[in-house]
Amino acid sequence: MCGIVGYTGFQDAYDIVINGLRRLEYRGYDSAGIVLEGSNNKLEVEKTKGKVDDLVNISKELKGTAKIGMGHTRWATHGVPSDRNSHPHLSNNGKIAIVHNGIIENYDTIKKMLSEKGFTFQSETDTEVLVNLIQYFMDLNPEIDFPTAVRYALNEVYGAYAITVLHEDYPGILVVGRLGSPLAIGIGDKEYFIASDASPFVEFTKEAIYLEEGHMATISLENGVDIRTITENSKIQPEIQQLKLNLEQIEKGGYEHFMLKEIFEQPKSVHDTMRGRLLVDEGIIKMAGIWDHLERFKNANRIIIIACGTSWHAGLIGEYLIEEYARIPVEVEYASEFRYRNPIITDKDVVIAISQSGETADTMAALKLAKEKGAFIYGICNVVDSSIARITDAGSYTHAGPEIGVASTKAFTAQLTILTLIAFKLGKHNGNLGNADFMSLIAELDAIPKRIEEVLNTTHEQIKEIAKDFVETTNFLYLGRGYNYPAALEGALKLKEISYIHAEGYPAAEMKHGPIALIDENMPIVIIAPKRGHYDKIVSNVQEIKARKGKIIAVVNKGDRQVSEMADYVIEIPETSECFSPIVASVPLQLLAYYIAVYRGANVDQPRNLAKSVTVE
Ligand code: M6R
């Protein structure tokens, strides 16, 4: 949700900022802007509604003019996407520039106060209020320096922010701060980088500091990185981390879109999720996070899974898995609802938070509440060292590698893999899963990457063709039962996110309680109907659809007859135990959504109105 890039060093700041913004464009793409500190220290700003390419069109003359600067790519919160609302924002005196990711919740009160003092505002943003608050403190206390004024201002605001600020009278200095939104500082040789994640600087340095919550830093070539707490101004010793990210992981590698690349990466990403954890020959699942807290899980009154979007769908499948194999009661909650409905949480509860980005504000807020009430918090995140990963008591990374396409694919199947491991591990430990079943299930799980590969090889070309028939379609239904009901929800979400076709997921049996009214010859229905999973009941559901002339796209196991005979399109996947079928069945649904969106000319990696990490509540 908004991407920030900053740079000071010996290279051309324009190139670093623009290339960095391209890598962060997945975070928001409503508008883009850049500010550079030129040779006369004057701040040169260019910004525009639209994407980084639009920014390049209007800012080329800035190339080669500066060695320090910063930029922004925006996902609009306050104010429509427009040139005026684009970042960077300047203070009234034109000397201070800011880029901001997050929301200043009390901006209105501050804006009123500043307006009374004579400040004027060009935009509708909360960010412009903050930059003027910095100027206000400098005007009020001429003896304080620029970083101190930023600190004073940050102490007055609440909400979420990652900011980078430049001041014309303080050349060579970048001031950054963080509360609730991520910010990384790359440490190069005689150069420093700032970014919302490490991707903009990974080819220049492998050393980074992830700014902690409530910290700010003053960065200059002369004095390096000086980190302080925002409230107390106490000096902090930075912890420099070695980045594991490499360039190849964040490039498209010959695929047309990141989403397609990420769909095809799933045999590897699922394997990576299990690597070192699933030791089939020894018959063990080794997960440090769970291992160290097995008794906490075993004695839990219940497990509450909280998440949003695709991660919430993974959570629903987690509920089926954990209840079936570990027999521990599980509730799955939308993080945004959980937080605001005064939930009953006790210190006997275990809360599992699932988040690809580890930055989702709704999930973060729900977690904080559960923590306050004494629950044990377990995180399942993909992004290492993300905010959620940091505040949990224990957790497991999914290790799916960077997911750049806004529509989640490989992170979802990696989340399912972790949840499967947890369910089997807990079931084995508390005696609900006998040794023979455990051994056979883990052997099957170990082979799931091969099953995914098989699905990719056998269905890809076929789905490309099927998708052509649905380019003009306006509505879709997705149905599944048991484990595949959440898979149906996820299939529908993928389609609507990237193709803008209205799609709904339902438990197949629920169809007769309402959605069946929608079915006619124009309604395509994707039905997930594997052999093992209430097959007979699904056959009846398919008959009901057929009787109403719905167009059936069936995802079935190889060799299926009953459903296939009734279906208009048949996509075959290998047969697995029911608990693994959502992983395997999700792959063709991802491909279907992808190709329909591509044929409709949609921007698959950057769907309208969405952003990869949603850091506002
Ligand atoms: O990073 P998170 O997993 O916490 O994100 C949660 C949702 O915002 C996310 O899954 C969203 O629904 C995706 N766009 C799904 O493709």
H-helix segments, 89-232: 107-116, 127-140, 146-156
Q: What is the pLDDT of residues 111-163, one digit of tens each?
A: 999 999 999 999 999 999 999 999 999 999 999 999 999 999 999 998 889 99
* Residue 595 within any structural domain of the chain: yes
Distance 231 CA to ligand 1 centre (A): 32
Distance between CA atoms of residues 384 and 369, nearest Å: 22
- Residue 263: both structure tokens together: 């769909």
Q: Hey, how many other C-beta atoms are within 10 angstroms of the C-beta on 282?
A: 8
Q: Is 541 in the pocket of ligand 1 (CB under 6 A)?
A: no
Q: Is 261 found in the same domain as 245?
A: no
* Residue 76: predicted pLDDT: 79
Tokens encoding 4: 């920030």
Per-residue pLDDT for 16 more than 90?
yes
Backbone angles phi, psi at 172, to 5 degrees: 80, 5
* Gap from CA of 408 to ligand 1 centroid (Å): 7
Token match 């800035």: residue?
A: 62
**Probe ligand 1: pick from 356, 381, 617, max atoms within 8 Å of CB?**
356
pLDDT tens digits, residue range 75-85?
877 778 889 99
Entry pTM: 0.84
Closest C-alpha to ligand 1, atom 16 = 407
How do 184-187 and 192-195 pair as beta strands?
A: antiparallel
Whose alpha carbon is nearest atom 9 of ligand 1? 309
pLDDT of 112 reads 97
Average pLDDT, the chain: 94
Q: How far is CA 553 from the centre of its chain?
A: 29
* pLDDT (0 to 100) of residue 289: 80
Whether the CB of 388 sits within 6 Å of ligand 1: no
Question: Average pLDDT, stretch 184-191?
Answer: 97
pLDDT of residue 139: 97
Ligand 1 centroid vs 336 CA: distance in angstroms?
Answer: 13
Ligand 1 atom 12: residue of nearest CA: 309
Q: Which two tokens stand for residue 461?
A: 């070309």
Segment 575-608, tens digit of pLDDT = 999 999 999 999 999 999 999 999 999 999 989 8
Q: Which of 202, 222, 249 is the last residue of a domain?
A: 249
Last residue of a domain, one of 423, 445, 467: 445
Q: Residue 59 Cα, ligand 1 centroid: separation in angstroms? A: 33
Catalytic residue among 51, 95, 428, 612: 612
- Note the pLDDT of residue 276: 92
552 and 568 belong to one structural domain: yes
Cα of 10 to ligand 1 centre, how many Å?
Answer: 37
pLDDT at 512 over 90: no
Does residue 365 have its Cβ closer than 6 Å to ligand 1?
no
Would you call 381 a catalytic residue per the annotation?
A: no
Q: Is residue 128 part of a domain?
A: yes
Residue 177 within a domain: yes
Quote the ligand 1 centre to 178 CA distance (angstroms): 22
Mean per-residue pLDDT for 206-213?
A: 94
Atom of ligand 1 at shortest range from CA of 614: 8
Same domain? 465 vs 350: no
Q: Give the domain-ending residue among 214, 249, 284.
A: 249
Q: Is the CB of 484 under 6 A from ligand 1?
A: no
The residue written with tokens 């949609």 in the block is 602
Three-point CA angle 282, 578, 512, nearest 5°: 160
Question: pLDDT tens digit string along 37-86?
Answer: 988 889 999 999 999 999 999 999 999 999 999 999 988 777 788 899 99
Are 573 and 521 in a shared domain? Answer: yes
Residues contacting 179, CB < 8 A, separation 6+: 102, 154, 159, 160, 161, 162, 213, 214, 230
User: Beta partners for 180?
Assistant: 161
User: What's the per-residue H, E or C state across 406-444?
Assistant: CCCCHHHHHHHHHHHHHHHHHHHHCCCCCHHHHHHHHHH
Q: Which two tokens stand for residue 180?
A: 């609730």
Q: Indicate if 188 and 308 belong to the same structural domain.
A: no
Tell me which residue range forms the domain holding 570. Answer: 447-603
408 Cβ closer than 6 Å to some ligand 1 atom: yes
Q: Judge whether 475 and 503 are in contact, CB under 8 Å.
A: yes
- CB–CB of 166/33 below 8 Å? no
Same domain, 258 and 357: yes
Q: Which residue has the tokens 């000086």?
A: 226
Same domain, 285 and 376: yes
Residue with tokens 């005979």: 565
Residue 340: predicted pLDDT: 87
Position 81 scores a pLDDT of 83
Question: Is residue 290 domain-resident?
Answer: yes
* Co-location of 527 and 544 in the same domain: yes
CATH label of the domain that carries residue 394: 3.40.50.10490
Are 611 and 1 contacting, i.e. CB atoms less than 8 angstroms apart? yes
| 242 and 257 housed in the same domain | no
Share of residues in the chain with pLDDT > 90 (%): 85
Which residue out of 338, 357, 383, 398 has the highest number of ligand 1 atoms within 8 Å of its CB and is therefore the one to mutate? Answer: 357
Q: Which of 360, 403, 490, 612 to mutate to test the pocket of ligand 1 (most atoms within 8 A of CB)?
A: 360
Asked whether 387 lines ligand 1 (CB < 6 A), one says: no
Same domain, 427 and 438: yes
Helices H / strands E in the chain, number of each: 20, 27
614 part of a folded domain: no
Q: Is residue 608 part of a domain?
A: no
Q: 327: how many CB neighbours lie within 10 A of its CB?
A: 13
Distance CA(329)–CA(340), nearest Å, equals 22
Active site residue 612: yes
Q: Is residue 610 part of a domain?
A: no
Ligand 1 center–CA 613 separation, angstroms = 7
Residue with tokens 């009787």: 547
Closest of 592, 562, 567 to residue 476, by C-alpha:
592
Per the structure, the count of domains in the chain is 3
- Asked if 231 and 257 sit in the same domain, the reply is no
Q: Is the CB of 407 under 6 A from ligand 1?
A: yes
Tell me, in angstroms, the distance from the centre of ligand 1 to residue 492's CA.
14
Task: Round to whole Å and give the CA distance between 244 and 384.
Answer: 10
Q: Which of 308, 412, 413 to mutate to test the pocket of ligand 1 (most atoms within 8 A of CB)?
A: 308
Tell whether ligand 1 has an atom less than 6 A from the beta carbon of residue 497: yes
Q: Which of 601, 404, 402 shows the shortest CA–CA distance to 498?
A: 601
Report DSSP letters for 575-604, one per residue.
---GGGHHHHHHHHHHHHHHHHHHHTT--S
Asked whether residue 587 is assigned to any structural domain, the reply reads yes
Out of 2, 308, 381, 579, pick the active-site residue: 2
* 441-455 residue pLDDT tens: 999 999 999 999 999
Same domain, 569 and 590: yes
3-state SS record for 290-349: HHCCHHHHHCCCEEEEEECHHHHHHHHHHHHHHHHHCCCCEEEEEHHHHHCCCCCCCCCE
Phi, then psi, of 396 in degrees rounded to 5: -135, 130
Structure-token match 């427009």, residue found: 82
* Rounded distance between C-alpha atoms, residue 424 and residue 422, angstroms: 6
Q: Is the CB of 415 under 6 A from ligand 1?
A: no
346: its two tokens:
């006790």
Q: Which tens digit of pLDDT belongs to each residue from 285-312? A: 998 888 788 888 988 999 999 999 999 9
Question: 118: buried, middle or exposed (CB in 10 Å: 19+, 13-18, 0-12)?
Answer: exposed
- Whether residue 183 contacts residue 196, with contact meaning beta carbons closer than 8 Å, is answered with yes
